[in-house]
Amino acid sequence: MRKTMIAASGTLMLLASPAVAQECIKPTAPQVADKNSLTLQQRNAMVEQLDAYIAATNVYLACLEQKDGKARAEAEALIRKFEAPVSDLEVVQ
């Protein structure tokens, strides 16, 4: 039963992931130039762009983790509901 739950959870997560991920906005990576060919001002500007990108990426990853947790909880609740006792169901042979 545990294997069924894990397999079903994985399947549900695969189905839910594209919809979940659409709510989180992936940042666009800045173009990185050879730092040796840049002036000091250009390097400083690039550092600012990279810092902003890293910060935005951290927000994006946190969003994905939060959505993943919610999706997992929903999938596990659905599986628990499905695996509830079925003693009142008729056995078909």
pLDDT digits (tens, 9 = 90+) for 47-73: 999 999 999 999 999 999 999 988 889
pTM over 0.75: no
pLDDT for 62: 94
| Dihedral in degrees, nearest 10, Cα atoms 71, 72, 75, 81 | -130
Structure tokens at 57: 């990426």
Reported as a single tens digit per residue, the pLDDT across 74-93 is: 988 888 888 766 665 565 66
Give the start-to-end residue ranges of the domains of the chain: 2-82
For the chain, percent helix, then strand, then coil, each to nearest 5?
A: 70, 0, 30
